Amino acid sequence: DSGVTQTPKHLITATGQRVTLRCSPRSGDLSVYWYQQSLDQGLQFLIQYYNGEERAKGNILERFSAQQFPDLHSELNLSSLELGDSALYFCASSVGTGRSYEQYFGPGTRLTVT
Amino acid sequence: DAKTTQPPSMDCAEGRAANLPCNHSTISGNEYVYWYRQIHSQGPQYIIHGLKNNETNEMASLIITEDRKSSTLILPHATLRDTAVYYCPDGGGDSSYKLIFGSGTRLLVRP
């Protein structure tokens, strides 16, 4: 158990819909990262927040957005869902945002778009 | 794209050492070498990291070459539960310290 929690574990929805994935980082961790893992793309970095502020963006679609709240939990919002958005979505957290800080991953949310 | 390269698969016998190589020829001087593993579809699990010196923890040992262009993760006594995909992700090279994962090495530990 990494200490990072994600809800829900599974999500099944239809194309065109909008969903919200939630992540609670480990106690004391200020940085949150979101990753997407699909069969054909592998693990892809989406976005990072540090202490409430966006720090970096990766291959995140414009239909996707995220935020980190004052209590440091984070939400990833996915809208206008397409079949290709079906994937595992992982959240990770770290104490800081320096190079020496390892990231701890949550168990993931499996999204299925039908 | 990942800047690290790993063999796609390896296997070893249970109880023997597993040595997993990683080439990171473009690593910058202040970038750490990280290793993670993923068992089935669980979240990636942090294993170990280092900068220049060799490192050891309760899970594994990390050997980094002097020129830092390659590293080896050593599982000293592999068990069946060590069967997983092992990654040495690239650090991205910018201030975000995101991890860029390649395809990893699928390690099969045989009984």
pLDDT (tens digit per residue) in A85-112? 999 999 999 987 776 788 999 999 999 9
In angstroms, rounded to a whole number, what is the distance separating the alpha carbons of residues B76 and A36?
Answer: 31
DSSP state of A68: E
Q: Which residue of B has its CA nearest to A107?
A: B43
Q: Across the beta sheet with A19-24, what order do the strands follow?
A: A5-7, A19-24, A74-78, A64-68
Cβ pair A100:B49 closer than 8 A: yes
Which phi and psi (to 5°) does residue A85 adopt?
-85, -5
In angstroms, rounded to a whole number, what is the distance separating the alpha carbons of residues B71 and B66?
Answer: 10
Distance of CA B11 to the CA centre of its chain: 15
Choose among B31, B96, B101: nearest Cβ to A42.
B101
Cβ pair B96:A4 closer than 8 A: no
The number of beta carbons lying within 10 Å of the beta carbon of residue B37 is: 23
Predicted confidence at residue A39, as pLDDT, reads 82
Predicted confidence at residue B93, as pLDDT, reads 59
Per-residue model confidence as pLDDT tens digits over B37-59: 999 989 999 999 998 889 999 99
Predicted confidence at residue B96, as pLDDT, reads 60
Which phi and psi (to 5°) does residue A84 adopt?
-70, -10
Q: Which residue of A has its CA nearest to B42?
A: A107
- Could you tell me how many CB contacts below 8 A there are between chain A and chain B? 69
In angstroms, rounded to a whole number, what is the distance separating the alpha carbons of residues A77 and B101?
Answer: 23
Per-residue model confidence as pLDDT tens digits over A37-71: 998 778 999 999 999 999 989 889 999 999 999 99
Cβ pair B100:A45 closer than 8 A: yes
Predicted confidence at residue A59, as pLDDT, reads 83
DSSP-based three-state secondary structure for A37 = strand
- Residue located via tokens 């927040």: A49
Whether B31 has its CB under 8 Å from any CB of chain A: the answer is yes
Per-residue model confidence as pLDDT tens digits over B49-103: 998 889 999 999 999 999 889 999 999 999 999 999 999 998 765 556 678 898 9
Residue A22 has pLDDT above 80, yes or no: yes
